[in-house]
Every structure is written in structure tokens, then in C-alpha cells.
Amino acid sequence: MPATPANAPSRSAPAVEYTWNAESLFKDRAAWTKEYNALIELLPMLSAYRGRIAESPETLLEWFDHALNLQRRVDIVSFYAFMLRECNANDAEAAAMSSQAGTLIAKFQAAAAFFEPELLTIPRETLDDWLSKEKKLRVYQHYLDNLFRRAAHIRSAEVEETVGLAMDMMLSIEMVNSELTNADMVFVPAGGMNGRVIEITQTNYETLLNHPDRELRRTAWERYHDGYVQHKNTLAANLALAFKRDIFLSRVRRHESSLKAALHESNIPERVYRSLIDTFKKNLPTWHRYWAIRRRALELDTLAPYDVWAPIAKKQPVVPYKQAVEWISEAMKLLGKEYSKAIRRGCLEERWVDVYPTKGKRQGAFSYGAYGTHPFIMMSYNNTLGDVSTLAHELGHSMHSYLTWKTQPYIYGSYSMFVAEVASNFNQALTRAYLMKEKADDTQFQIALIEEAMDNFHRYFFQMPTLARFELEIHERIEAGKGVTADDMIALMADLLEEGYGGEMAMDAPTRRRIGMTWATFGHLYMNYYVFQYATGISAAHALAAPILAGDEAAAERYLAFLSSGSSRYPVDALKEAGVDMTTPTAVEETFATLAKYVDKLAELTDVY
């Protein structure tokens, strides 16, 4: 069981059943090293195909078989090292292994870089003829269609090889941020009303913000952000470097902008991004109303940033991990018994989840894995309703991967970031709806559940679109040749958040400085134009969940087909087939309507007080 968040236990403390199943990948680190060395020796063999891809359909098929098998093995080796490091940033050996894995990825990309430019020299008519004659090649039809769609932005073999060799260095930019924020950054402890002093870590920070002691919340929020302010110049320089990397790669591949480059990869129209931001700005009054209701419910004259997560319910539910698994499994029965059973088995038998907070564990939560492994989850479960929601969210990702890997060949065994956040938020929507019915007579639980919902909407439908505005503005400034300093980033972030709070938040100079560092607390910004997809994801999720919650079995079947499609279809097309068109603002508008209903319900329930 977990220790208190203020005193996170050592990595060896939790029982094995609550740790991720590392041995299902490699017996031990020596076995990993053996596989790593084997792959390093095998990668040069890919060069034997250089200049031969156009020989025959048999040679092309041989390449696919050989190269994809190597890539799959590289994925597993890389994931294992990454997961070890993320679960314990203080593990120096794991950090070294992760660095080695980055080198391995770069070497593979460099070794395989000649393939797509060479494949594009074959006339499309010839490839179509090969597919008609060689049945085993037909599985690559969508891959080839997508390749030729991207053809104008694929460079020569020499350029692609150079980019591949540079990826290790480019990926290190994100690692620098992770090492600084998760391993090196130390925060001044928080202090509560009773004089208690509590250590602030990446794994307990969110728990502290949910504490009823306002003084504890204040000191935790201020000192946590002060830790980032102390390193503002390094953090800003590193993020600017990541954005320059995005711009560099977009220009190498002859895109008009880094935004167009990011969206082009998954064939997403630019209007999807622009429409999200416009619709978000138009609906900010819904958020303004929520902040006013939250302030009144907390009986405060003025809301402060550390009150955003303050508990309103007089009694917060305590939910043990196994109870959370049970609730989520029951909620997911709307998608069929097999879906529900897979969740229960993964959480309680196959050890998909690294459950509890431990020293050195990175902040946040994620689901990750590799084709041929379990879909693993890293989180820091603290028995709260918010943790139930986080587990449901990550299990959405995991089941997306599980069904994709079960259904699709390796070539389509991944899915774009654009659809990833659909599955996660969908699971939260179903779990929330299930608990609203199960606990309909428990007012305190209902309030706590709405608080959880609003916390989730705050992250995905307030913070993420705000970060998307920030990301676009900073990218465009750099693309225009303008210098960007830490203070520039802080000022822009503070302005955007102040607009979102609509006058309900106290904003003196120290608060603006601290809240302006919000961008530095989101490592998501190191993934080029990723954050907007949280907002589109939650929108699509609620649009797809509505008919299923109403009992539409056909909608459930369409949704399962969507989860099983991997990258065999373009993401916007896959969502259309599932039942939602993200090229229009309809889903975003409907989700704001859902948000407004939660705000109304919270106002109704808190009138009791």
C-alpha cells in the first residue's frame, strides 16, 4: 500500500503486484543488454537492401519483413529502458539505458532512411501491379497511399539519413527537461496551518493542491512554481530549442510552417486546430461562470490559483485501487464483457499498472508499451476519486493499444496522437456516468464526482487549449525570426490564463510570475503541437459516448471498430466512421454544453450549503 504523499517510499517498497510487469519483457537488465547488443550488430544489415528496393515485389516484401521485425524489437528495447527511467529518475543505470535506447532509435532511423525515398522512385503503377500479383504485399496498401500523399515532404536518402542520425541529439532536448524537473529540481517544503512541514515532490504535488488546508495549498503552489521560476531561463531556452527543432524539421521537409508539418503527418486539416481555438475563446464565459460558482462554494472573496483544485465536498471519497478497478470494469460493460474482462485481468493479474507513488517517479501518468507487450501504465495512485479518473483515462489508452495490437499487423500497430486522447476521455465519461447513477443518493459523492469532472475538463478543456494558443504564438514568433525570452513566455502565459479566469482570479505581480511559468510544468509541449489534441480528444470522446450511454449497441460496435483500427485509416476518417466529424466545431460546442451542465449541477448541489 502507498505511504502518505508527503513521504513517498523507496522504489522497492510496493508489493510486486502493484508494479509494472518488467520481467514479461526481459528477465533482467542483463537480458536487455544482450538484446540491445544484438540489435546494434543487426542494424547495418539493412544497408544490404540499399539500391535493391525496386528489384521485385519479392525483394520489397523481404525488406518489410526484415525491417519491421527489427523495428518492433527496437521498440521493445526502447520502451523497457524508458519505463525504468520514468519510474525512478534516480536510477542512474536506467538513465544510461534510456540514453542508449535513444542512440539505438537514431541508428535504426538512419539505417532505414534510404527506404522511403527509394520506394518513391518506383512508379505508382508498378507498385499497384506488384500489389495485385503479390497477396502478402496488399496489407501495405494504406501505407503506400499515405507515403505517396507525403511524397513532396520526403527528402533524398542522404537528407533523411542525416535527419535520422540527428534524432538522438534532438530527442535529448526533452530528456534534459525531464532530468531537470524530475531529478534535479528541489522545492522548498510546504507548510500548513498547524505548522506541519511537508516535502513537495512531483508525485505528491497534485495531492497537496487538493488538500482542504488553504495555507498548505498556498505554500505548495507558490513554492512549486518558485522552483520553476528559479530555473526559468534554462527551461525557456530548452523549450525554445525544442520549438526550433520543430521549425528546423518542418523546413527540411519543405512545409510552410511547423503547424502544417505537425498536422500533415496525420492528414489533419489546419482548420481543425484553428476552429478549436476559436470555439474555445468563444465559450470562455462558461469557464468564467464556473470560477464564480467555485469561489462562492468555497466561501472566498477572491479565488487564488491554488484554489482551482480545492475540495468543495465536505467529505472526499477514499477509493482503494482494487475498488477503482471494479468500478471502471463495471462501467465498461457497455462495450461488452470482453472489454471489461481485459481491464480487470490487466490491472489485477497481468500487472499492466505501476500503481503507487515512489521516490524518483516522474510526475503525471501515462500508458505506453510496444507491439507484442502489455499496454503498461505508470501513475501514482493515492486512493482519491481523481486517481480513479486517471486510472480510467490511462486504461482507455491501454485498451486502445490492446485492441489495435490484437487486430492490426505491426505496420498499423500504432495510432496518431489525434485519436489517442479520444479513448482515454471516453473511458472517463463512461466511468463518471456509471458512478453518477450508482451514487445518485449520495450528495457529497455527487459533488466530489462533479469536482473530478471539472478537474478533468480544466486540464483538457481549459489548460490544454490555452497551452495550444501559447504554443502556436511562440512557434510563430520564432518562425518570424523574433527572439523569445523566459520573461516573454511568462508574460504570454499569464495573459492567456488571466483571460481564461475572467476577472475571478487575484493576479498581483508575484502571482502572474508564478502562473506564467505554467508552460514549464507541461512536458507535453516537447511534442510538436500535441496539446491541442487533448481538447479535440475530449470533444470527440463525449460525442461518441453519448449514444452508447443511451443504449445504442451499434454505436458501441462502431467505437470498438475505431479502437481496433490503429493507423490503418487516417484519424479524421476513422472518427467519422465511428460517428463524429472533427472538421466542424460541432463536437467542441457539444462538449462545452456538457461542461455547462456540470457547472449548473454544481451550482444546484452547493446551494445546500
- Which sequence positions are flagged as catalytic? 394
As given in the structure block, the three cell numbers for residue 218 are 498556498
CA angle (385 as vertex; 383, 386 as ends), nearest 5: 100
Gap between the Cα atoms of 83 and 94, Å rounded: 9
Q: At what angle do helices 417-438 and 553-563 cross, to 10 degrees?
A: 140
CA 212, 217, 220, 221 torsion: positive or negative?
positive
Looking only at the bridges linking them, the beta strands covering 366-368 and 376-378 are antiparallel
Gap between the Cα atoms of 204 and 206, Å rounded: 6
Spatial CB neighbours of 41, under 8 Å, sequence gap ≥ 6? none
CB of 404 closer than 8 Å to CB of 563: yes
Total Cβ atoms within 10 A of residue 353? 28
Which H or E run includes 393? Answer: helix 385-407
Burial 29-39 (b: 16+ CB within 10 A, else e): beebeebbeeb
Spatial CB neighbours of 513, under 8 Å, sequence gap ≥ 6? 229, 490, 494
CA 51, 55, 60, 63 torsion: positive or negative?
negative
Q: In three state form, how does the secondary structure of 167-208 look?
A: HHHHHHHHHHHHHHHHHHCCCCCEECCCCCEECCCCCCHHHH
Which H or E run includes 280? Answer: helix 270-282
CB of 115 closer than 8 Å to CB of 39: no
Amino acid type, 24:
S
**Residue that has been written with the C-alpha cell 467529505 in this structure:** 315
Gap between the Cα atoms of 423 and 497, Å rounded: 28
Q: What is the CA radius of gyration of the chain?
A: 24
Gap between the Cα atoms of 52 and 54, Å rounded: 5
Amino acid type, 322:
K
